[in-house]
Structure 1
Amino acid sequence: MKSSDPVCVIVDAYSTGNRLAEYFRQKGYRCLHVQSAPTILEVYAASFVPEQFDDHLILDKDIDGLVNYLKTLHVQHVLAGSEVGVGLADRLSVALALPGNGLALSEARRNKYLMAEALRKAGVDAVKQIATDSEEHVCRWLDSHRKWPVVVKPMDSAGSDGVRFCHSQEAVLQAFRSLLGITNRLGSVNEELLLQECLIGQEYIVNSVSRQGRHCISEIWTVNKQKQTFGSIYDYEELVNRLDSPVHEAVATYVTSVLDALGIEIGAAHTELCVTDKGPVLIETGARLHGSISPEAIAQALGYHPIELCVSAYTEPRAFEYQLHRVPNLFKNMFCVNLISNQSGTVTGYGRFEAVKALPSFVEAICLPTIGDRISQTVDLFSNPGVIYLAHEDRSVLWDDYQTIRQLETAGFFDVEPR
């Protein structure tokens, strides 16, 4: 790369964001990585690929020094590579006068309480909630709310970390006491907790890419969960054509309103919502790519690549415009199956994985543990031991293969040496 080449700065390029540099480099950019904290969080460490970058900077407390250094380079774009990089990416893009999402709603794009309140202020349907560190406040809200279950969760974590579904005041207080003051999986201390009404209905994942405040809905997935004694865990997602029904159109329309309310002007966003009997209501939005996905697998069903679409929003306006006006059409049906572990111990082999690869609809498996890794019972997305993509023209083939995977899981998907 030449020193005169344009530079793209990616903040915390972890999870799916570790692929961004690869595609910016294909467009002729030098890529610089900024690490927003002295150490990479354990949940992200294995996904960082430093070889993708021309330089790697670690932010200490001197953000002004970082900005001044970046001003000496030919920086054209700054974007977040993961949830923890959203805030710093906003600050750097503003400081460098580059396209970005601004600072006015930056905190609301990370803090789930402020997120819902921003929607309410903009006239968009939002969940009923409080944020508090007081048990007395909790009890007063429960007395006035009088609906069960109630959700207790951290303000700014991810991957279902710390989410509790409670069916009594005693359960709420127990969850509240167990979560308040601890450090969540994204490294923040739970100084306050969020109590929300439990949304009842079909859940959806909606991924989008924006440019100049215009939003392209790239994918809509139905979310299917398994109920457990402690709550719910992700089972599988199914890719849908957003023109399939008025419900999917309503979901897409609602998400564009959410993106506007949160000030998302450019880049990827990952939104989770529930269609209740009153219509769509937001669970949360992340101003970054959907984590732990296989873009190549998704391209088999959609005909385009979600990371390429994100990069085009920054580098190729015409390609983005084409996708913005493209009529969605599924080439194949697709399931994204989240493996659910009932095993605990050290992985010594993949005893039943060959049977999975032989399934007619098998496309790819990602995020599997390596030999020597420890796995435990799945309680959230962070303890999910892998993801399997299935795609086929015949949906019944997907369903049969999905059931085979669950049967293999029951028998023990991995070879495990117990602790």
Structure 2
Amino acid sequence: MTTQPLAVIVDGYSTGNFLPAAFAKAGVSVLHVRSSAEPMASMLAPNLAEYVDELVCAGPEDVGTTVAALAELKPVAVLAGQEPGVPLADLLSERLGLASNGSALSTARRDKYEMIEALRAKGIRCADQLRTTSPAEAVAWARERGEYPVVVKPLSSASSDGVSVCRDEAEVERAAQEVLGTVDIFDHRNTEVLVQSYLDGTEYIVDTVSANGEHYLCGVWQYDKTTTATGKRIYDRDVLLDSGEHPVPELMAYLETVLAALGIEHGPAHAEVMMTAQGPALVEIGARLNGNMTPGFHDVCLPANQADLIVLAYTDPQKFVATYGNRRYDRVQPAVVHNTSTDQDGVVTGVDQEAVDAIAALPGVHLVSVKLGPGKRIRPTTDLLSSPLRIFLTAPDAADLAAAYDAIQELKDRVYLT
């Protein structure tokens, strides 16, 4: 099939689309494995033209055949391209004797209840929680705790899908009912719901890449949130911190305990950590790329992007460890990722390219991601999924980013015609 070394990417959706090009730069071809019978329609699909082939491994009955087919190809690595592919990538890499986080803790790396319980078993600071199939049981748990707010969310979704902060019993019941019976962004039906104690504090993204149990901290971003007219707290800006800034060292020290508890020794991790009055506490973690990772953007504001680091970790782990092992990034220049909000509600009839170009021309704007096209529904923003624009900003002077942000607020609602 190919004379180049071969890597296997399981479910290369969303930012997993950056991995084939990163492997190609290293002279490595890629093969795609899909973990579902049908492609997942809710995420940006992998570009199969960048892969030498695709195999489908949609259930336990397919694993043996897939392992045998891959063994003949002698891949150098098997890794997940996106969240749903984590368990299968763990299993295939383990069966093939490659660098692997192993299958023993795969569930804890995907199921948010098991994730937090794995931390609790190691004495690591984390939320109180309940997993249930019953809205009434969720209400009873919250009532017995007697402390609001609480958080209600799906067990295995992402991008703030289905997450609600609830301040009374009625809100808990309504949020649990909304989660149960719906389908998450990975096309999985939510048959259970997770209720957790509210972690009060400032939330951070903490991104790492690992090889042979040595971790490189490749970026920490502080979430700035805003409040909608309905009182919903939504993500607004991700602000890149310098690695020496408070509380980056404490966040990384905490995350190292989380990585150990969840058995993440190889490849990427994208964590969200709340800095509470008691110290850091995990919101959740995925053994995959940051959903905001864009190589060209990160190459400007950071020493290296997560996709290239992943490739190095899997193809030359000795070099990765020598260069990056147990080290932290140094920010090259200030950067912000802005997820815009809107009150627009309707069907998009067109995109005003002049408005897009005006945003793109602002000093400090690196990239404007227009998420909707004609025929798509635009609705008032309640979460990351309903944010209509993602704008990447970076410049040597943080004042330019602040000025661009203010200008964007005047332009953003001109982009979509309804």
Q: Which TM-score band applies after superposition, normalised by the shorter structure?
A: over 0.9
- The aligned residue for residue 352 of structure 1 is 355
Counterpart code for 1:7: L
TM-score (norm 2): 0.94
Q: How big is each residue's C-alpha offset from its partner over 1:343-365, in whole Å with a ceiling of 9 and x where there is no partner? A: 23214122411221221111112
- The aligned residue for residue 337 of structure 1 is 338
Contact 1:224 1:234 in 2 (8 A): yes
What SS does structure 2 have at the residue aligned with 1:88? helix
- The aligned residue for residue 50 of structure 1 is 48
What SS does structure 1 have at the residue aligned with 2:348? strand
Residue pairs, 1:144-159, within 5 angstroms = 144-159=144-159
Residue pairs, 1:11-26, within 5 angstroms = 11-26=10-25
Deviation at 1:227, TM superposition (A): 2.1
Q: How big is each residue's C-alpha offset from its partner over 1:14-54, in whole Å with a ceiling of 9 and x where there is no partner? A: 1111111112122222210011112222221x442111101
Give the Cα–Cα distance (whole angstroms) in 2 for the partners of residues 327 and 272 of structure 1. Answer: 17
Residue pairs, 1:221-236, within 5 angstroms = 221-228=221-228, 229=230, 231-236=232-237
Residue pairs, 1:117-156, within 5 angstroms = 117-156=117-156
- The aligned residue for residue 238 of structure 2 is 237
TM-score (norm 1): 0.94
Residue pairs, 1:55-204, within 5 angstroms = 55-61=53-59, 62-204=62-204
Give the Cα–Cα distance (whole angstroms) in 2 for the partners of residues 384 and 296 of structure 1. Answer: 22
Unaligned runs of 5+ in 2: none
Deviation at 1:307, TM superposition (A): 1.0
Q: How big is each residue's C-alpha offset from its partner over 1:227-272, in whole Å with a ceiling of 9 and x where there is no partner? A: 2336322101000012123x21101111111111110010001000
Structure 1 pair 162–325 and aligned structure 2 pair: CA distance change class (3 A) = closer
Structure 1 pair 178–406 and aligned structure 2 pair: CA distance change class (3 A) = same
Give the Cα–Cα distance (whole angstroms) in 2 for the partners of residues 164 and 67 of structure 1. Answer: 40
What SS does structure 1 have at the residue aligned with 2:289? coil
Contact 1:43 1:382 in 2 (8 A): no
Q: How big is each residue's C-alpha offset from its partner over 1:183-237, in whole Å with a ceiling of 9 and x where there is no partner? A: 2222222221100111111100011001111111100000011223363221010
Structure 1 pair 142–374 and aligned structure 2 pair: CA distance change class (3 A) = closer
Counterpart code for 1:338: N
Give the Cα–Cα distance (whole angstroms) in 2 for the partners of residues 231 and 128 of structure 1. Answer: 23
Give the Cα–Cα distance (whole angstroms) in 2 for the partners of residues 262 and 32 of structure 1. Answer: 27
What SS does structure 2 have at the residue aligned with 1:108? helix
Residue pairs, 1:402-417, within 5 angstroms = 402-409=405-412, 412-417=413-418
- The aligned residue for residue 393 of structure 2 is 390
Deviation at 1:136, TM superposition (A): 4.3
Match of 1:363 among 366, 386, 399: 366
Give the Cα–Cα distance (whole angstroms) in 2 for the partners of residues 413 and 90 of structure 1. Answer: 45
Give the Cα–Cα distance (whole angstroms) in 1 for the partners of residues 271 and 410 of structure 2. Answer: 31
Structure 1 pair 60–390 and aligned structure 2 pair: CA distance change class (3 A) = closer
Structure 1 pair 14–230 and aligned structure 2 pair: CA distance change class (3 A) = farther
What SS does structure 2 have at the residue aligned with 1:75? coil
Runs of 4+ in 1 over 6 A off after TM superposition: none
Structure 1 pair 284–63 and aligned structure 2 pair: CA distance change class (3 A) = same
Give the Cα–Cα distance (whole angstroms) in 1 for the partners of residues 397 and 47 of structure 2. Answer: 37
Give the Cα–Cα distance (whole angstroms) in 1 for the partners of residues 294 and 321 of structure 2. Answer: 20
Q: How big is each residue's C-alpha offset from its partner over 1:77-112, in whole Å with a ceiling of 9 and x where there is no partner? A: 000000111111111111111111111110000000
What SS does structure 2 have at the residue aligned with 1:258? helix
Does residue 307 (structure 1) correspond to residue 307 (structure 2)? The answer is yes
For the aligned residue pairs, the C-alpha RMSD in angstroms reads 1.7
Counterpart code for 2:5: P
- The aligned residue for residue 288 of structure 1 is 288
Give the Cα–Cα distance (whole angstroms) in 1 for the partners of residues 327 and 199 of structure 2. Answer: 32
Structure 1 pair 378–40 and aligned structure 2 pair: CA distance change class (3 A) = farther
What SS does structure 2 have at the residue aligned with 1:233? strand
Structure 1 pair 116–152 and aligned structure 2 pair: CA distance change class (3 A) = same
What SS does structure 1 have at the residue aligned with 2:27? coil
Contact 2:215 2:327 in 1 (8 A): no
Q: How big is each residue's C-alpha offset from its partner over 1:124-157, in whole Å with a ceiling of 9 and x where there is no partner? A: 1111111111344323322331111111111111
- The aligned residue for residue 375 of structure 1 is 378
Give the Cα–Cα distance (whole angstroms) in 1 for the partners of residues 141 and 302 of structure 2. Answer: 45
